[in-house]
Amino acid sequence: MTASACDLLPGLLAGAGGRQAFGTSLTAPVGDLLLAVDEVGLIELPVSPTQARALCLVGREARYGQGEKTIVDRAVRDTWEIPISAVTIDAVAWDRTLRPVLERVGRGLGLPPGRALTADLHSMLVYAPGQFFVQHQDSEKDDAMVASLVVSLPSTFSGGALAVRHGGRTATYRGSKTALSFVAFYSDCRHEVRPVTSGYRVVLTYNLMLAGDAVAAAPDPELVAGASRCLSEHFETADRLVYLLDHEYTRRGLDWARLKGADADPAGVLAGAAERAGCEVALCLAEVHETWTTSENDRYGGHWDDEPEGGDVDLEELIDWSTTLDGWVEPAGARLATIGLRVSDHEICSTTPSGELEPHRSEYEGFMGNWGNTLDRWYRRGAVLVWPASRGFALRAEASPSWALDELAARARDGDVSGARAAAGELAGFWDRVGAADQGKGILGKALRAARAVDDATLATLLLAPFALERVAPNHARALSALTATYGERWAGDLVVAWTTAWRLPHHTGPEAWIAESEPLVRALDAAFATLVIAAAWRRLSAGLQQALPTASPTHREQALAALAPALAAVLEGAALVGETPVRDAVLAVLRGDGDIGICATAVLKASPPERWNATGLAHVALHRVDVLTARLSRPPRAGDDWSTTLPRGCACELCQRLRAFLANPAETQLDWPLAKPGRRHVHSRIDQAELPVRHATRRVGRPYTLVLAKTDDLFKREQQRRLRDEQDLIWLELGLRA
C-alpha cells in the first residue's frame, strides 16, 4: 500500500532540526552568591546542617496549586519554604554569575538566536530528611514564562534527586557539595524531587522569562519542498492537516516566537511549506483523548482518577480516540477567540505518538463484571494547523462562528456584499452544527447583523437557523423587526418554525419554562414578529397538553398539566398585548373543556392576576369553572356504604372488564380472583397506573394462585379532599371575578 502524506510527513519533519533538549544543567562557583535570610543571617556556602535546620525553623510548609486553589498537602509536597520577603540577594554580584548561566541555559534549551532568558526568583526551599515533592508540572505564571530554573546550593545530602521527564525520557540531576548546580527545563515537563534520605537539600527556584526578538533561521529548502509536496497531495482529498507538536502550551503562552525545544523547527518547516503550497497555517492547542482496553493484576476492579500505582496496567487495544483544537495563533499574530474544533483521524499526524508523552489526566476503570478494564488518557499538545488558502474563511468559521459573523458583516459594510454572500454560502455544510454549539454571549446579535448585511433571504435563514427561539432576548427586537421588514413576514414565519422545530434548551429546563418568562420579549418585539412567537409557543403547549391528558397516572397527569399553566398564562397575556385573537380563542376553548383539563384551567387562572382576566379572556374560563364546581358540589356526598369507583379508559380485555365490574359495585369490597401470573401482573399494573384505592396481594395457595383485591378507606378520604379543594377553589374564583 502506498504511504499517505500523513504517513510520510512525520518522518520528514523528524529531521527538521536538532533542538531536542527539554532540560539542561551546569555548575558554577559559589563566590558571587551573597545570600541572607532574616532571623538566620548570611548563608554560608556550602550550607551547614546547623544553618539548614535554622532555615527550616523560619520556613513554612510549602503549598502547591491544585486547580484554582493553593493548598498544603504533605502527601504531595513536603518541604519548607522560606518567604521571599525574608530573602536578600546581592543582585550586582549575583548577576556576574547568573547572566552567563542564563546564556548557556538558553543554548542548552535550544532557543533561537536573538532570544534571551531573564530569571524571576520564585521561592527558596529546604528539603529535610524524608521530604519530597511528587511528580508535578509547573504553572506558567506569566505570558513570557517558558521554563523553570532550579539552583541547588552546595550542601551534603543523599537522596533528593531532581528527576525531569518528557517524551518518554527521564533526566536525573543531583546537587554538588561544593559548587552551585543549575538545572533548567521547559515548564510543561513533569518533574519530581525524590525523598531526601540524609542531610538537607537547599534550592532557589526561578521562573525563566523569554525576552528579545528571535532571528528566524531559514528552514532547510529540501525539507520545505518535501513537506510542500506532502501538503499538496494531502489536500487533494482533505480540507486541513494537523501536526501535533511535542510540548504543551497554555493559551497565553502559545506563540510562534516561544515554541519549545523540538517544536520550533518542524513548525518552521510547515510554515514555509504551507506558503509554498498555497496554504495558510496557525498554531493551536490540541486536547487528545484516548481510551484503551487493559489487562491488570487487580482482579477486584474499581475506579481511579489516575492510573493504579506502579503502572500495573498493560495497554491492549485503542478503542476510542478524539482530538479537539482550541486556541488559534497565526504567524502574523492574529488570534481567534476560544474555539472547539474537532478534527478527524485522517487529518492528524505526529512524529511523537501521544502514548510516549505524559498525560495530564488519567481515569482507570477496573473490571466491574460486564464492563471495565479501560484506561482513559488526556494529553495536551501544541499543534500546527494547515489548510488550503481557498478554504480559509470556511475553516476559520468552523473554528470560530463568532469571528465568521463579524467578518461577513465587515465585508458587507465595506461594500463587498457579493463577497459576503459567497463566503456565507461556504458555511452550508457545517453551520447548523457549529452555530448551535456556540453559546458565546452576543453571538445571536452578530448573526442578526450578518443576516441583514448579506441582503439575501436564503442566506439570512442559513445564518440564523441554528440559534433557536429561546436565545432571543428583548435587545434583539429591533434587529428582528428590521429583518422582517427586509425579507417579509413569510420569511420571518419560516424562521420561527425552524427555531422551534427542535427547542435547543439545556436538559435541566424546557420550552415551557422559557415561554413562561417570555412576556418582556413579546413587549419588546413588534406586533408582527411577536404574533409569530406567540403562535409558536401555543403550538408547543398544545402538543404538551395532548401528551399530558392521556397520562395513566393521575398524579403525573395533574403535575404535567399544572406545569404548563404559567406558560399558558404567558401566551394569553402575550396574545392580549398584540391582539392575537386566533391564538387567544384557541387557548380559551381548550381551557373551557371538561374533565381533567379543569386542573390546568384552574392553575392557569392562579398563574394570572385576576385583574388581567378580562383582558386575556380568562374571565370566561373562570365563569366556566364556577359552573363546573358548583354543579359538582351540589351533588350529595358519597354514602358511607358506597364503595363504587371507576377504572379509567384504556384496555378493554376480559380481565379489565371483570375489574371494572368489581370496582363499580357499591357493595362489593373484596374480590378473590384465581389468576395465572400474566393475568395478575396485568391487573396489578392497571390498579397501580390508575392509583386506585385498592390493595392487591397474591395468596400463594393452590393453582393458579389467588389475586386478592380489597377496596380501602382512601376512597372516602380522597372524596373528602376533593370536595374541600373544590370548595376552596370556588371561593377563590368568585373573589377573583369580583376583582
Q: What's the CA dihedral at 353, 359, 361, 367 to 10 degrees? A: 70
Cell numbers found for residue 342: 474537532
Q: Give the per-residue pLDDT at 332.
A: 84
Q: Is the dihedral of CA 349, 350, 355, 360 positive or negative?
A: negative
Give the model's confidence band at 507: pLDDT under 50 very low, under 70 low, under 90 confident, else very high: very low
Q: Give the per-residue pLDDT at 374.
A: 83
Compute how many other C-beta atoms are within 10 angstroms of the C-beta atom of residue 43: 22
Mean pLDDT of 150-155: 97
CA angle 430, 435, 437 (to 5 degrees): 105
Q: Which residue has the higher pLDDT, 111 or 26?
A: 26
Cell numbers found for residue 417: 456584499
Mean pLDDT of 182-203: 95
Give the model's confidence band at 737: pLDDT under 50 very low, under 70 low, under 90 confident, else very high: very high
CA separation, residue 513 to residues 533, 559, 561 (Å) = 15, 14, 13
Distance of CA 54 to the CA centre of its chain: 49
Please give the mean pLDDT across all residues of the chain.
89
Of 186, 105, 202, 188, which Cα lies nearest the Cα of 152? 202
Query: What region does 133 belong to: left with phi over 0, alpha with psi -120 to 50, or beta?
Result: beta
Q: In the chain, what are the domain boundaries?
A: 23-211, 221-392, 654-715
Q: Which residues contact 634 (CB under 8 A, 6 or more apart)?
A: none
pLDDT at 229 over 90: yes
Q: Which residue has the higher pLDDT, 255 or 302?
A: 255
Mean pLDDT of 489-497: 94
Judged by average pLDDT, the poorest of 49-58, 106-115, 291-300, 339-348 is 291-300
CATH class of 23-211: mainly beta
Distance CA 323, CA 563 (A): 42
Tell me if domain 23-211 and domain 654-715 are identical in fold: no
Judged by average pLDDT, the poorest of 18-32, 156-170, 317-331, 630-644 is 18-32
- 32 and 93 in contact (C-beta within 8 Å)? yes
The pLDDT tens digits for 686-736 are 999 989 999 999 999 888 999 999 999 999 999 999 999 999 999 999 999
Of 602, 604, 615, 608, which Cα lies nearest the Cα of 733? 602
Q: Give the per-residue pLDDT at 673.
A: 92
The pLDDT tens digits for 60-70 are 999 877 666 77
Residue by residue, DSSP assigns 310-334 as GG-EEEEEEEEEEEEEEEEE-TTS-
Buried b (16+ CB within 10 A) or exposed e, 95-127: eebbeebbebbbebbbbbeebebebebbbbbbb
Of 141, 2, 132, 1, which Cα lies nearest the Cα of 65? 141
- 461 and 494 in contact (C-beta within 8 Å)? yes
- 285 and 324 in contact (C-beta within 8 Å)? no
First to last CA, the chain: 85
pLDDT at 479 over 50: yes
Mean pLDDT of 82-92: 95
Mean pLDDT of 279-289: 94
Query: What percent of the chain shows pLDDT beyond 70?
Result: 93
Three-state helix/strand/coil letters over 67-90: CCEEECCCCCEECEEECHHHEEEC
Q: What are phi and psi of 558, to 5 degrees?
A: -65, -40
Compute how many other C-beta atoms are within 10 angstroms of the C-beta atom of residue 668: 14
Mean pLDDT of 128-150: 90
pLDDT at 2 over 70: no
Q: What are phi and psi of 203, to 5 degrees?
A: -140, 155
Residue by residue, DSSP assigns 341-375 as EEE-GGGEEESS-GGGSPPSEEEEE---SSS--EE
pLDDT at 464 over 90: yes
Distance CA 438, CA 660 (A): 55
Q: Give the per-residue pLDDT at 441.
A: 80
The pLDDT tens digits for 416-456 are 999 999 999 999 989 998 888 877 788 999 999 999 999 99
Mean pLDDT of 104-124: 89
The pLDDT tens digits for 624-680 are 999 999 999 999 999 999 999 998 888 889 999 999 999 999 999 999 999 999 999
The pLDDT tens digits for 565-622 are 999 999 999 999 999 899 999 999 999 998 889 999 999 999 999 999 999 999 999 9
Q: Which residue has the higher pLDDT, 173 or 551?
A: 173
Distance CA 161, CA 149 (A): 15
Cell numbers found for residue 362: 488519567
| Domain 654-715, architecture per CATH | 2-Layer Sandwich (3.30)
Cell numbers found for residue 315: 495497554
Query: What percent of the chain shows pLDDT beyond 90?
Result: 67
Q: Is the dihedral of CA 577, 582, 587, 593 positive or negative?
A: positive
Q: Give the per-residue pLDDT at 63.
A: 86
Q: Give the per-residue pLDDT at 72.
A: 83
Strand partners, 674: 706
DSSP reduced 3-state for 580:
coil
Give the model's confidence band at 508: pLDDT under 50 very low, under 70 low, under 90 confident, else very high: very low
Of 686, 704, 702, 705, which Cα lies nearest the Cα of 694? 686
pLDDT at 105 over 50: yes
Mean pLDDT of 277-289: 94
pLDDT at 480 over 50: yes
